[in-house]
Structure 1
Amino acid sequence: MTQGYCALVLHAHLPFVRHPEYETFLEERWLFEAITETYLPLVRVLMRIAEEHVPCRLTVSLSPPLLAMLQDRLLQDRYLAHLDRLIELCAREQERTRDDGHLHALAVMYAGMFQDARRLFADVWGRDLVRAFKMLYEAGVVELATTTATHALLPLAVHQPCMVALQIKAGIACFEKVFGFQPQGIWLPECGYYPGLERLLRDAGIRYFITEAHGLLHANPTPVCGVHAPLFTPAGVAAFARDQACTREVWSAREGFPGDPDYREFYRDIGHDLDFQYIKPYIADDVRVDTGIKYYRITGPTPHKELYYPEAALHKAAQHAEVFLQRRVSHIQFLARDAAVAPLIVAPFDAELFGHWWFEGPQWLDFFIRKAAYDQNTLLLTTLSDYLDRHPVHQTGMPATSSWGAQGYFEVWLNEKNQWIYPCLEGCIERMKKLLARYAARKLSKLEHRALNQALRELLLAQSSDWPFIIHTGTATGYAERRVKDHVARFHALADGLEHHRLDRDKLQALEYLDAFFPDVDFYALMRSCHTS
């Protein structure tokens, strides 16, 4: 008998990286790696689940930047060229390792993986992975959710409600442009919430969002059910909270499953291990990068690593799926003893954890879904909207300001390394307000409308939470800093042209091509609706 529920939520997001001005660009590999290691494997797992009618429901949130890149013809072409280079490298690796039995077997494995990725992407899905997610939605396996337009951390714009509203409405508009319907749920970037945000979500037609655990635990009043039931905000939007114990088991490389010695070692890659001249033809900009060909397993905490054995790793993934399930079953049974409503465990993750960071993650997910469907009857895998349909009455309260970042608030995105970003953004927002006021009372020319729309596109792209995060972590600092500064400079160049009636049609067209983020969405019309509401 079902005593409770578990809601898996996978948030798929990458920053918008597209550089047509270069023949190849290093940071475009972020998308290519995620397609090969995460999105294609997840689609494969979930398609099998759908085809075999395994009882399962889960939520996938797809960010507008990711959707835009997945549908971009230039990036699709470059992804296939990327795969072709890796397939050629694998052929050389098979030759290089031909006298080393197990290493050769691993080289063969990677050759098959990249060839299969090419077949799936080009032949099975016709380059259109978005169609795959549509089919999973239509099959009833996946509920699709959205996030804000460019993954802006909304609490850091609390004093600019018009801009927060634009991020929300534009995120929904991009989702509707792709999928043709309004999403019920939204993933708040970085699970960032502040009191009052729920009113903007309600006005945009959103039914629920996810917050960090302390967002509910510190709510006013304190929720009777803690994090194991939603809290209805005063605006009527439901707030669900992350179960930290549950997610720590899957997320943490130190405490959780991904750190098991038998799993593949992420940080040992032939792009760094082998001779540079050998690797050079297969990388960009003469910079050592990961190729995705990794021959070693985690082994232990020391630099010493032993060869990876896929069969042993697969066996561990099955074991860990069983352990994870039994812990959730026990937790639900404990919670159900005194619960006034069927308890819910919310397990949200970055989708890229599965496959990219944790190579065996998609296999673990497959095992867990099947075991949950067939090996027990205590909990049911569900979506957050399905849970609200089944259990529409819950406590009302106001969640607390929170995020899922370090220390639970916003210091990752606002500190001495990246604080310079926000005055730049503030200057753009204030200038945009003046432009809105200036053009509100008169009919725009087509060129003016395009320029205002592109100026907003540049401002939205500058607001991505990815840029301050990258600067904070120090991984690709120069690139992140340049992206913010470039978008801000492009915004001001367009604003100058609008204010002085000197718009350059050719330069505008060049920017529209360079930063072609949802070219068919009228961000200016959305901003006006936010400004007047």
Structure 2
Amino acid sequence: MAKSGAFTFVLHSHLPYARQAGMWPHGEEWVHEAIAETYLPLLNALTDLEAEGVPYQLTIGVTPILGEQLADPLIVDHFVHYAAERAAWAAEDVGRFDKTGDTVMRDLARFYHHWYARALTSFQDRFGRDLIGAFRGLQDRGRIEVATCAATHGYLPLLARDSSIYGQVKTGVGAYKQRYGRPPKAIWLPECAYRAAVVEQEDGREIRRPGLESFLAAQGIRVFFSETHTVEGGRPVGKAAGEAIGLYGGVPRRYAVALSPEEQSEPGTTFQPYWVGDAVGEVAVLGRNNRTGQQVWSGTFGYPGDAWYREFHRKDGVSGMQYWRIGGPGVDLGDKPPYDPAKAAERVADHARHYVALVEEVLTEYQQQNGRFGVISSAYDTELFGHWWFEGVDWLKAVLRGLAASESVELTTASRIVEEHAPERVMQLPESSWGAGGSHFTWLNVDTQWMWPPIHAAERRMEDLVARHPDADGELRDVLNQAARELLLLQSSDWPFLVTTGQAKEYASQRFTEHLERFNQLCDFVDTGVPLDIEAKRVYSSLAERDNPFPAIDYRVFAARQGSAADTAAG
């Protein structure tokens, strides 16, 4: 039977750089939590499906800065301690509840003890403490496509210098090649934030700054992803409208968010890829399908809000374990009923069957109405599954199994869509994101506007250093490379995002300020024009040990290039 259309999950995996930057509630434990609750369960599920012979495919983005952390020996060691500690805490809960005669809670504690013990066994024995190697293996065997991202998830449209956009993308691509042994074909633009080519004034002359697609084309990237309204036009929907569970959904409740003044002037459909702007025949865009996406994203009617699923927000006062379920709409946190893993598993099966039928229905409907083979890109933050929605990875596993057996749906990956169903139309995309209102508001507002002048000044200072030291070696090269790392970390979109959401405002402000100070301190060392003294060497060594991602970084990727996205040898 001929397929009606193709489908790919697009899972965007990202956490800010948190190595040795605090533990709880903000810091490196973010990474430990995500490993235990999301990345390990996901890899287990995909490996299980492969062992069953299920011919699944999907697209999984792993940001370069997350990849650096997952491969970091210190974080790996800390995670082993984290998982073992929580298994022990759950075991202590078993005894605590046994003493009080609470058999329901005792059995739940035993459930978590086994859950964390299995996670630790999988991490050490099944995957050899090498999660990036596990993702690479799945890609090499044709089960997944790993997409890349800008190096530290920098918010590209708001960067003032093309050197920084190039440096973010080039460094990210270089790290990908090192980790996966091949160049990437797909990229997740940080926050789905896009900017077309613009003309700006500089030193009394006009400069045409390339659209982001030109920077992607220069690195051989074939496809990126956008929010629904960026392709379809009209008002933002889903995540961009604040309808999502998790941190994104809180932004419109804290601000009166205006919709983006930019709108798609020639609306398209998320069922087709499109060539983009200045990169016709080179770079395509896939818009997020809202109808399938809302079944998961929506905080009002999405699957994760089911009464039988685990409650995210209520935690045991002694161990921190989450022993309760949602219970229904409007149930007070203190009145949540106990979690029932068996009943939750039944709901997972129900929701997976519903989603498989929905995808089949949507693609068949599109083909019947348009006479064309349609594609669906259903995009989510990976951490939604397992972390926010505890049962989400089991749901993904069941959906992939169901769609792999479908007679009407072809499972695929992002780059395969472009290769096998090449775009037939060119689209000029408006400036947009999947943030509140579909604009840049989440990252540039009254609470975050103080961050951007220092970022822009640092961009220019880095360009100046490269111009004055185009071929540095030895100690000077090392200091310049560390300054480049600090600039990348300073540019992370996570800092303004966390300020805007209010979830970690002080922590994010502190991290931003620290990276800015470290960058300027390193630049000051260079500006002295003399070798580092003992104190300067101590400071440099401390920073190089603390902020150590991208060991192959080349500071020269930040050479001035305003108006050019062309590739160079540096990096």
TM-score w.r.t. the length of structure 2 is: 0.86
Residues 43-77 of structure 1 show CA distances to partners (whole Å, capped at 9, x for unaligned) of: 01100111122121100110111111111111111
Give the whole-Å Cα distance in 2 for the aligned partners of 1:7 and 1:107.
36
Give the whole-Å Cα distance in 2 for the aligned partners of 1:25 and 1:128.
26
Give the whole-Å Cα distance in 1 for the aligned partners of 2:48 and 2:74.
30
CA contact (8 A) 2:14 2:66 kept: yes
Q: Does 1:199 align with 2:214?
A: yes
Within a 5 Å distance, the mapping from 1:81-230 to structure 2 comes to: 81-98=81-98, 99-157=101-159, 159-195=160-196, 196-218=211-233, 222-224=266-268, 226-230=269-273
Give the whole-Å Cα distance in 2 for the aligned partners of 1:457 and 1:182.
22
Of 435, 445, 448, which residue of structure 2 is paired with 1:405? 435
Compared CA separation, residues 491 and 359, structure 1 to 2 (3 A): same
Of 512, 525, 549, which residue of structure 2 is paired with 1:484? 512
Give the whole-Å Cα distance in 2 for the aligned partners of 1:364 and 1:393.
31
Any idea what SS the aligned residue of 1:27 has? Answer: coil
**Counterpart position of 2:327:** 299
Give the whole-Å Cα distance in 2 for the aligned partners of 1:432 and 1:461.
14
CA contact (8 A) 1:265 1:298 kept: yes
Displacement of 1:455: 0.6
Large movers: runs of 4+ above 4 Å: 22-26, 529-533
**Counterpart position of 1:465:** 493
Of 302, 305, 316, which residue of structure 2 is paired with 1:256? 302
Residues 130-183 of structure 1 show CA distances to partners (whole Å, capped at 9, x for unaligned) of: 1111111122110111000000111111x3112111111111111111111100
Within a 5 Å distance, the mapping from 1:384-403 to structure 2 comes to: 384-403=414-433
**Counterpart position of 1:284:** none
Give the residue type in structure 1 aligned to 2:327. Answer: T
Give the residue type in structure 1 aligned to 2:331. Answer: T
Give the residue type in structure 2 aligned to 1:209. Answer: F
Give the whole-Å Cα distance in 1 for the aligned partners of 2:23 and 2:529.
34
Any idea what SS the aligned residue of 2:153 has? Answer: coil
Displacement of 1:529: 8.7
Give the whole-Å Cα distance in 2 for the aligned partners of 1:15 and 1:323.
34
Give the whole-Å Cα distance in 2 for the aligned partners of 1:41 and 1:125.
12
Percent identity between matched residues is 35
Of 424, 428, 447, which residue of structure 1 is paired with 2:454? 424
Give the residue type in structure 1 aligned to 2:149. Answer: T
Any idea what SS the aligned residue of 2:28 has? Answer: helix
RMSD: 1.8
**Counterpart position of 2:51:** 51
Give the residue type in structure 2 aligned to 1:463. Answer: Q
CA contact (8 A) 2:194 2:430 kept: yes
Displacement of 1:389: 2.0
Any idea what SS the aligned residue of 1:337 has? Answer: helix
Displacement of 1:506: 2.6
**Counterpart position of 1:372:** 403
**Counterpart position of 1:2:** 3
**Counterpart position of 2:202:** none
Displacement of 1:514: 1.0
Q: Does 1:505 align with 2:537?
A: yes
Give the residue type in structure 1 aligned to 2:419. Answer: D
Displacement of 1:384: 1.4
Displacement of 1:516: 0.8
Displacement of 1:401: 1.1
Any idea what SS the aligned residue of 2:404 has? Answer: helix
Residues 401-427 of structure 1 show CA distances to partners (whole Å, capped at 9, x for unaligned) of: 111111111111111111111011011
Any idea what SS the aligned residue of 2:510 has? Answer: helix
Any idea what SS the aligned residue of 2:426 has? Answer: coil
Displacement of 1:25: 8.3
Within a 5 Å distance, the mapping from 1:297-336 to structure 2 comes to: 297-300=325-328, 301-303=330-332, 304-336=335-367
Give the residue type in structure 1 aligned to 2:221. Answer: I
Give the residue type in structure 1 aligned to 2:153. Answer: H
Displacement of 1:84: 2.1
Q: Which runs of 5+ in 2 are unaligned?
A: 197-210, 234-262, 567-571
Give the residue type in structure 2 aligned to 1:427. Answer: A
Compared CA separation, residues 370 and 25, structure 1 to 2 (3 A): closer
CA contact (8 A) 2:463 2:559 kept: no
Q: Which runs of 5+ in 1 are unaligned?
A: 280-290
Give the whole-Å Cα distance in 1 for the aligned partners of 2:380 and 2:294.
10
Give the residue type in structure 2 aligned to 1:522. Answer: I
**Counterpart position of 1:69:** 69
